[in-house]
A and B are shown apart, each in its own frame.
Chain A
Amino acid sequence: MTGGAWLCLLAPLVGTILILLGGSWLPRAAAAWIATTSVFVAFGGAVWALFGVRSSAGHQGEITTAWTWLESGSFHAGLQLLVDPLSAMMMLIVSGVGGLIVLYSIGYMDGDDEERRYFAYIAFFVFSMLLLVEGGNLLMLLVGWGLVGLSSYLLIGFWHERPSAVRAAKKAFVMNAFGDATMALAFFILIAHTNSLSFGVLDAHLSSTQANLVALGLLGGAVAKSAQIPLQTWLPDAMEGPTPVSALIHAATMVTAGVYLIARTHPIFEQARTIELIAAGTGALTLLVAGLIALVQTDIKRVIAYSTMSQIGYMFLGAGVGGYANGMFHLMTHAFFKALLFMTAGLAIHALANEQDIRKMRGLGRVMPFTKWCFLAGALALVGVPPFAGFFSKDPIIASTLNIGWYGYVFYACGIAGAFLTGLYTFRLWFLVFPGEPSPFVREHYHDHHGREGAWTMLVPVGVLAVLATVGGWIQWPPLWEPITHWLAPVAPTLAVAEVSSTQEYVTSAVTVLVGVAGIALAWAVYSERRIAIPAAPFWRRLFENKFYFDRLYDRIFYAPSAETATFLRREFEEPVVLQTGPDLGEATLETGGFVRRIQTGLLRTYVLFLAAGAAGVVLAFLIAK
């Protein structure tokens, strides 16, 4: 099984290296297929690792060490990989969905000038994400964490001639760096207390202050990476990257790393229960706020981005109350249907010559039926309508909040309200874009790809994911059959407070579905049949459109003072002092030279004078020495 882990990790890295070495001699198609093949090979390795874990006793998993990487006094950190149920599940999701998305990008990025760079980056991203989930100690996890942030930066800013893309990349990186910093601080506390960063340290008994600090630091990293409030502002801007990048990084894998982190380090969070509940609260708040903002977005990708933010809020909620398996299961189904949604949106964008404004896209379903039905499957999965995938994963999360106390009821209410909003904004999107008569814009700009809606490399993954979005949830239906919960039990057992009775489960499911369908119905009434007008509500509209003013707030608190300080320093210090040093030194040297030059009079008498004076000096020295 450890062989599978190494294969899974290294295959995409080999792919990246091959593409980089090939440079411009490598044909573009070759680069694309190298990347795709490497990720599918990784998937094979993940399957191998999965079977290895299944056959091992107690499904405990194993750590494999390549060599000692860092050694400082008594602190050791090895180059280690961990293969256990949790990491095997993540490996499958990352490499499986990742492979499909890389295949999709062959068609999507075809013809781009810098295709090879794209595939090198995306293979590198898959490698980084796998390092993150396979990391055998906290240090390797942190390395993977950082590399994933780097890949995200590189890929968001892929079209680097666009200033908006570059700004978005920087924003994402800086906000993630904040999370990296808090995580590093948490690790410092762990090292100070236990002198180790291996996963055994998670079971160490920490004092309550230490546990709270460590958990807070870890939560900071998770919140930054997963774009939860208050560090969520980078995710919508990250849509500047190519659509496959949005699908892979900002829907299926990287942004879910925060959930994985909580599941992995859950012993520490359980020692700091308050922080864990704060994580759940953050998730609850984010899922509401994101849902509200999604209602007024006009860019198709941004709607889906806010939807991602909202669904990750659900995952945080589930993991935060102690139902780690619930959170991970929703992570899995979300990967399926969110990637599907992004990829179908990508088909639409591609067919309409890179137009992303949904107000122009009415009636697209008439000319792109395959896209329409796949998007519908994803939308229904997202809303949680049975038998689609989301139904099975979302409801247990909402239900699990019932037994933890009065705030559990608040979370429950948020979850239900969120389900309503999900139905509303998702089907607002669907009704605005797909059904009905094609708009003039669509008629004018739609062009197909040799008679089909897209290249086969794009259509096949979309189809596969549509199937997975439909049936992928059937693997677990609490409380009837729960293979995933049992699978993860050795490493991430669900807390007792998160266990719910069957009655609570069924009731919650029913309520959620009803609420979701109500949202769909409202969307149909407003956006399709125009029976109800969109309410004016200028205050709320402005609030949502300005994304709750988070961007303005951060600009004022962080960016403006920094820019002021920088300008001030440049004006007062850098220009007069630092930059002047060069010219000043030069001038001083010239002046000294000019002064010394006067000794060279050219007169013989002067030189003889120096001779005589020198002789006098030497004699003087001798006399003194005597």
Chain B
Amino acid sequence: MLGPDTAWYLAVAAVLFGIGALGVLIRRNTLVVLLSLELMLNAGNLALIALSRHWHNGAGQVFALSVMAVAASEVCVGLGLVVALNRRDLSLDVDTLSELRG
């Protein structure tokens, strides 16, 4: 294969996953949390595609497409939530949605 080995692609995927995880854990704006979630999903996709190419197994690409479809549905629902929150004039700050406080 031309270009870098599969390991390089996996490294990029790992770093991207870490960045996405950091974003989910740190940010307070719900929308940005959802965006970081997309990052993580894409990182997973990248790993899948890279390994599919490595082992000549089409299941990886199929899986990646399914992930994309599910990610789209999840974003749809998540954004629906954000819209509903906004319509009720609730804050979008994740920290204020704390009714489970002990």
CB–CB A600/B102 < 8 A: yes
Q: Which residue of B lies closest to A602 (CB)?
A: B101
Contact residues in A for B74 (Cβ distance below 8 Å)? none
A604 at interface (Cβ–Cβ under 8 A)?
yes
CB–CB A602/B25 < 8 A: no
Could you give, for residues 576-616 of chain A, a 1 whenever the CB lies within 8 Å of some chain B CB and a 0 otherwise? 00000000000000000000010111111101110010000
A592–B21 CA distance with the chains assembled, in angstroms:
31
How many residue pairs bridge A and B at CB < 8 Å?
32
Pick from A597, A599, A605: contact of B26, CB under 8 Å:
A605
Pick from B21, B94, B102: contact of A604, CB under 8 Å:
B94
Pick from B24, B95, B100, B101: contact of A608, CB under 8 Å:
B24
CB–CB A597/B28 < 8 A: no
B1 at interface (Cβ–Cβ under 8 A)?
no
CB–CB A602/B100 < 8 A: yes
Which of A599, A601, A602, A607 has the largest number of chain B CB atoms within 10 A?
Answer: A602
Per DSSP, are chain A's interface residues mostly helix, strand or loop, or mixed?
helix
B99 at interface (Cβ–Cβ under 8 A)?
yes
Q: How large is the interface on B (under 10, 10 to 19, 20 to 34, 35 or more residues)?
A: 10 to 19
Distance from B60 Cβ to chain A, minimum over Cβ atoms (Å): 21
Distance from B47 Cβ to chain A, minimum over Cβ atoms (Å): 14
CB–CB B101/A604 < 8 A: no
Distance from B28 Cβ to chain A, minimum over Cβ atoms (Å): 7
CB–CB B100/A600 < 8 A: yes
Contact residues in A for B21 (Cβ distance below 8 Å)? 612
A603–B94 CA distance with the chains assembled, in angstroms:
7
A434–B100 CA distance with the chains assembled, in angstroms:
92
Could you give, for residues 84-99 of chain B, a 1 whenever the CB lies within 8 Å of some chain A CB and a 0 otherwise? 0000000000110111
Q: Which residue of A lies closest to B22 (CB)?
A: A612
Distance from A609 Cβ to chain B, minimum over Cβ atoms (Å): 5
A390-407 contacts to B (CB < 8 Å): none
Pick from B28, B98, B102: contact of A599, CB under 8 Å:
B102
A602–B24 CA distance with the chains assembled, in angstroms:
16
Q: Which residue of A lies closest to B27 (CB)?
A: A605
A601–B99 CA distance with the chains assembled, in angstroms:
10
Q: Which residue of A lies closest to B98 (CB)?
A: A602
Q: Which residue of A lies closest to B101 (CB)?
A: A602
Contact residues in B for A602 (Cβ distance below 8 Å)? 98-102
CB–CB A605/B95 < 8 A: yes
Contact residues in B for A607 (Cβ distance below 8 Å)? 100
A599–B24 CA distance with the chains assembled, in angstroms:
19
Distance from B40 Cβ to chain A, minimum over Cβ atoms (Å): 10
A605–B21 CA distance with the chains assembled, in angstroms:
11
Distance from A570 Cβ to chain B, minimum over Cβ atoms (Å): 42
Q: Which residue of B lies closest to A596 (CB)?
A: B102
CB–CB A601/B98 < 8 A: yes
A602–B100 CA distance with the chains assembled, in angstroms:
5
Contact residues in B for A605 (Cβ distance below 8 Å)? 25-26, 28, 94-95
Distance from B30 Cβ to chain A, minimum over Cβ atoms (Å): 9
B56-102 contacts to A (CB < 8 Å): 94-95, 97-102
Contact residues in B for A600 (Cβ distance below 8 Å)? 100-102
Contact residues in B for A604 (Cβ distance below 8 Å)? 94-95, 97-98
CB–CB A597/B102 < 8 A: yes
Contact residues in A for B25 (Cβ distance below 8 Å)? 605, 608-609, 612
A399–B22 CA distance with the chains assembled, in angstroms:
113
A73–B100 CA distance with the chains assembled, in angstroms:
67
Distance from A623 Cβ to chain B, minimum over Cβ atoms (Å): 14
A597–B101 CA distance with the chains assembled, in angstroms:
9
A88-126 contacts to B (CB < 8 Å): none
Contact residues in A for B28 (Cβ distance below 8 Å)? 605
CB–CB B101/A601 < 8 A: yes
Distance from A453 Cβ to chain B, minimum over Cβ atoms (Å): 84
A609–B24 CA distance with the chains assembled, in angstroms:
9
A454–B38 CA distance with the chains assembled, in angstroms:
108
Distance from A7 Cβ to chain B, minimum over Cβ atoms (Å): 75
* Beyond known contacts A597-B102, A601-B98, A607-B100: 15 more, CB 8 A cutoff: A599-B102, A600-B100, A601-B102, A602-B99, A602-B100, A602-B101, A603-B95, A603-B98, A604-B94, A605-B26, A608-B24, A608-B25, A609-B25, A612-B24, A612-B25
Residues in B lying within 8 Å of A, measured CB to CB: 21, 24-26, 28, 94-95, 97-102
23 A–B contacts from the bound complex (CB under 8 Å): A600-B100, A600-B101, A600-B102, A601-B98, A601-B102, A602-B99, A602-B100, A602-B101, A603-B94, A603-B95, A604-B95, A605-B25, A605-B26, A605-B28, A605-B94, A605-B95, A607-B100, A608-B24, A608-B25, A609-B25, A612-B21, A612-B24, A612-B25
